[in-house]
Amino acid sequence: MAITTYAPVILAIGLLTTDSHIAQQRREAPTKQEDPWDSGPPPNPKEPASWTFTDRQTSGFVEAVNAQSITLHWPERRVLKLRYDPKTGQQLSCTEERFAAVPGKQFALDATLAKGEYLNTGSPDDTYRIRDVKLGDRVLITFDRRNGINTCKTIRITRRPGGDVPPAPGEKPTAFHKHHEQANADQQWEENRLPYPRKYWPSYLGQDGNFYATPYPSDSKVIVAVPPIAPPPREIKPAVVPDVRQR
């Protein structure tokens, strides 16, 4: 299979990020109500193996955060799967799925995160500190279960709806590919349909068997939170004035 490139380095990175996006999207759409957090069955006193594991990944929207813990939740949401003409950016199709809200789950912070630092795992994408996180961010975390307690070890901010994902503290300023730039390029396309910057052009497979890179993706998945429905206004009954008569 031949590969047609505008710039070999850019296309190689585009292909890698496309693969990683697919894997990440699978982790970012929990649908199993019995275990939406990919955390395994609840701890069972009779099964010690259920009390401890390492390096699980899950994601969600930040509901609460402090110096000791982070709480993730999933609102009721619409998940839009869209296809585009990668040459023009014109939308070709859209399918929609709806998912119920998932109540918040609290994760204790690892000692390193609790100190305001980050755990260096070798991936700069996962080097966000707890002070970098804001309510409403969509994040991907790595966590362990230690003695039945779920403990967050690393944090990756993947979206900041209506804002900009900040640089990860572990990113190298000289790196060609930066996580926050890729995340913001994805978000700008999802929210505003802005073409991708040249460095992050997505790639697609042409009918001739060659790969091409353009400013537009061939497909994307957008998560749209469904705002809660306000309760109907209560009926206001006129006050009853007691009949006071002079005697």
Task: For residue range 90-109, list pLDDT tens digits in order.
Answer: 999 999 999 999 999 999 99
Indicate the number of domains in the chain. Answer: 1
Place of tokens 């009926």: 235
Residue 203 lies in a domain: no
Q: Is 167 inside a domain boundary?
A: yes
3-state DSSP percent of the chain in helix, strand and coil, to 5 = 20, 35, 45
Checking if the pLDDT of 31 tops 50, the result is no
User: Within a domain: residue 38?
Assistant: no
Q: What is the reported pLDDT for 81?
A: 95
Task: Please give the angle made by the CA atoms of 116, 187 and 219, to the nearest 5 degrees.
Answer: 130
Residue at 149 is within a domain:
yes
Q: What local confidence, expressed as pLDDT, does residue 233 receive?
A: 74
In a domain, 172, yes or no: yes
- Is 241 within the bounds of a domain? no
pLDDT bucket at 8, cuts 50 / 70 / 90:
very low
Asked if residue 106 is part of any domain, the answer here is: yes
| Structural domain of 140 | 47-193+219-225
Q: How confident is the model at residue 122 (pLDDT cuts 50, 70, 90)?
A: confident
Average pLDDT rounded to a whole number, residues 149-171 = 95
What rounded mean pLDDT belongs to the chain? Answer: 82
Q: What is the pTM of this model?
A: 0.78
Q: Contact, 124 vs 164, CB < 8 A?
A: no
